[in-house]
Chains A and B, each alone.
Chain A
Amino acid sequence: MSGARGPGAGATDGGDDGEGAGRPRDAESHQDPGQHQEPSPPRDPGLQPERTRLAWRRTTLSGTVAAVLAVRTALHDGATPAGLAVGALCCACWLGLVLLAGARTRRLGSSAVPPALAPRAAAAAALCTVALAVGAAALVM
């Protein structure tokens, strides 16, 4: 990946006129077929990091819905201390998901070739979800 130095690398490496930084992106893609000296694409035409970022955002939104329902269930028929504790656990799971998503989103934006997701982060996100489900089962029963 020769042209991979930062978020702006696509604009500076892809456009030969040196003024590509502020241009709309399709201006570059029209030039691409004529450039034979560039073995790796100057930017990712599939916008993979953006899509991944949005996928994390959707996931935290789904988690928010589940957490709001958890709090509603915990407060519904008279707030007992146990119910409140489980509700707080569910909120902690939600917070964990949001923090994981925030950390991952920052790493995705930090370089032009984003590193792969760490298995530990994936496991942590799944465990937050599982803990949310366990809390839900405790609230429902």
Chain B
Amino acid sequence: MIRVVRNVRLWFAPEAVREEGSTPDYRFSLANERTFLAWLRTALALIGGGFAVDQFLPDLPRPWRVGLALALLAAGVVCALRAVDHWVRCERAMRRGEDLPASRFPAVLSLVIAVVAVAMVVVVLAGWAG
């Protein structure tokens, strides 16, 4: 938790990142930036999915609809915040010449999306049958 708070401070202090280590090849920085943007797109897609569940499944009972939509939106929020955090950590690791940080977030996100997808299939099939 303390690590996260320290990283949040780094988000808004570009000088603090630049003080450490040496500037890596700009191509590595740009690759890191593109990875960050890809995670941001994932977050935006999850948010769009939340809207879509709310808008395009009108026959769903309201608790299910709102619950699924909020689950997707929450996943989008976590994904966006984690995108910056991971970007800052990768940038710092590259400056220090350390290994890039390992992360179990992709696995966790995949599991969450799988659970939401299964829930959606069940809900849609149940609505279809009943």
Bound complex: CA of A52 vs CA of B11, how far in Å? 20
- In this complex, the interface size class of chain A, counting residues with CB under 8 Å from chain B, is 35 or more
B45 within 8 A of A: yes
Contact A119 B38 (CB under 8 A): no
Chain B residues near A49 (CB-CB < 8 A): 30
- In this complex, the interface size class of chain B, counting residues with CB under 8 Å from chain A, is 35 or more
B105 to chain A minimum Cβ distance, whole angstroms, is 14
Contact B50 A133 (CB under 8 A): yes
Contact B36 A62 (CB under 8 A): no
A91 within 8 A of B: no
Interface on chain A toward B: helix, strand, loop, or mixed SS?
A: helix
Contact B36 A122 (CB under 8 A): yes
B4 within 8 A of A: no
B55 within 8 A of A: yes
Contact A120 B11 (CB under 8 A): yes
A108 to chain B minimum Cβ distance, whole angstroms, is 8
Contact A48 B55 (CB under 8 A): no
Bound complex: CA of A139 vs CA of B87, how far in Å? 30
- Binary flags per residue of B28-39, CB closer than 8 Å to A gives 1, else 0: 011101101110
Contact A125 B13 (CB under 8 A): no
- A46 interface neighbour in B10, B27, B29, Cβ under 8 Å: B27
A84 within 8 A of B: no
Interface residues of A in 57-85 (CB under 8 A from B): 58-59, 62-63, 65-66, 69-70, 72-73, 76
Contact B66 A141 (CB under 8 A): yes
Contact B26 A48 (CB under 8 A): yes
Contact A62 B48 (CB under 8 A): yes
B56 to chain A minimum Cβ distance, whole angstroms, is 9
Q: Given known contacts A62-B45, A73-B51, A140-B50, is B73 in contact with A129 (CB within 8 Å)?
A: no
Q: Given known contacts A58-B41, A63-B44, is B14 in contact with A126 (CB within 8 Å)?
A: no
Chain B residues near A114 (CB-CB < 8 A): 26, 30
Bound complex: CA of A36 vs CA of B80, how far in Å? 45
Contact A117 B73 (CB under 8 A): no
Which B-chain residue is minimally distant from A58 (CB atoms)? B41
- Residue numbers of B with Cβ under 8 A of A are 10-14, 17, 23, 26-27, 29-31, 33-34, 36-38, 40-41, 43-45, 47-48, 50-52, 54-55, 66, 69-70, 73-74, 76-77, 80-81, 83-84, 87-88, 91
